[in-house]
Amino acid sequence: MNPPAYDALAKVLTAHSTQLKKGERVLIDVHDVPEAFVLSLIRAARASGAIPFVRLHSARIAREIALGVTEAQASTMLEIDMAQLKKMHAYIAVRGSNNIAEMADVPQERLSIFSKKLRPSIDYRVNKTRWVILRWPSPAMAQQAHQSTEAFEDFFFRVCTFDYARMQPGMKALKALMDRTDQVVIKGLGTDLRFSIKGIGAVACGGEFNIPDGEVFSCPVKKSVEGVITYNAPTLYRGICFDDISLEFSKGKIIKATANHSKKLNEILDTDAGARYIGEFSLGFHPLILDPMRDILFDEKIAGSFHFTPGQAYKVAGNGNKSAVHWDMVSIQRKDYGGGEIWFDNVLIRKDGLFLPKALQVLNPEYLLGKKK
């Protein structure tokens, strides 16, 4: 018998996130995940009347393939992947990892082959299917979060099965505000950033695409970004741990980039021309996620955070930027992380991680957790 938490999460993914319907085909794409949870997903999909298909992956096997991948091989992989995706109405990806640095010793040029050649399948999945992605609570993730395995598993399932309906009123108001905003100013420790989101629009995310979720995103007008930003959340990208990333912009382009691994950071930003432009700007507000753990899906939803993303823009609320890179770098502006301010058209919208306008205050943790009405 599967743990009740597995079945509850599977129901969120099939009923809320992808909203599976009778006769629809769903691809369940899992990486190093317990069989018991895959079974929960299959049963939940069938309960909705959908037809489940399963694809299994192993990080160690993926690493071995990556070490010797060629452009011709990656092109064939894309053909196979696209043929399967085009048969699907929905896509559920669950990504576990026993070692967050499994890909750390794969040369960047090999990883770039994957990211460039397989980009069309990601674009198809994002734009043509109903999709959701989440991590799996492995001991490796517990270590990243500096928690015991048991404590982290409890945290994971509380976060992932949060009642996302509570976010809807505030997200609707924030989306409406961002839809009509032109100039954005962000200030904080090591950060003085200015850009426009005029005409771009915004998208509210309350459990439809990511689990956990809790953000509203937009995108800068491509060449409008000026100033400097310092990210205070550590991050992991292509198997490498980065800290203290700082980016300087001129006419939208990253002209200077430093971090604890500045050389590797710049190698990634030189993947293609679009990697040095920003493809997403988003405000995060999940009330139960407070601290970074080098996992983008969690960190970008941290209460009082924003992310400012080098690389590929989404088709919706995007600026047309194209890149094999999409790297959600996160900065936290709560007082315990140094504070900060976000201004929309000369109006202070969020200070020290808390929304100030009355219509947006329902996105602050004390409201979402029911501690204040």
**pLDDT single digits (tens) 114-157:** 888 998 999 999 889 999 999 899 888 898 888 999 999 999 99
The CATH architecture to which 4-160 belongs is: 3-Layer(aba) Sandwich (3.40)
Gap between the Cα atoms of 289 and 300, Å rounded: 9
Average pLDDT over residues 36-45: 97
> What is the pTM (predicted TM-score) of this model?
0.82
Gap between the Cα atoms of 48 and 132, Å rounded: 16
DSSP track, 183-205: EEEEEETTEEEEEE-TTT--EEE
Gap between the Cα atoms of 240 and 351, Å rounded: 32
Q: Any idea where the domains of the chain sit in the sequence?
A: 4-160, 164-368
Average pLDDT over residues 92-98: 90
Tell me the per-residue pLDDT of 322-334, one tens digit each, with 9 for 90 and over: 999 999 999 999 9
Residue 84 makes CB contacts below 8 A (sequence gap 6+) with 27, 53, 55
Tell me the per-residue pLDDT of 232-278, one tens digit each, with 9 for 90 and over: 999 999 888 999 999 999 999 999 999 999 999 999 999 999 999 99
Q: What is the largest CA-CA distance in the chain?
A: 58
DSSP H helical segments within the chain, as ranges? 4-11, 35-47, 59-67, 71-85, 108-117, 119-128, 139-144, 149-160, 168-179, 262-269, 296-299, 365-368
Per-residue 3-state assignment (H helix, E strand, C coil) for 209-250: CECCCCEEEECCCCCCCEEEEECCCCEEECCEEECCCEEEEE
The closest of 323, 329, 311, 141 to 242, measured between CA atoms, is 329
Question: Which pLDDT belongs to residue 252?
Answer: 98
Gap between the Cα atoms of 213 and 162, Å rounded: 9
Distances (CA, A) of 174 to 81, 162, 169, 200: 36, 20, 9, 14
Task: Output the six-digit token pair for 332.
Answer: 């936290």
Gap between the Cα atoms of 82 and 59, Å rounded: 21
Task: Output the six-digit token pair for 171.
Answer: 């997200």
With cut-offs at 50, 70 and 90, classify the pLDDT of residue 2: low
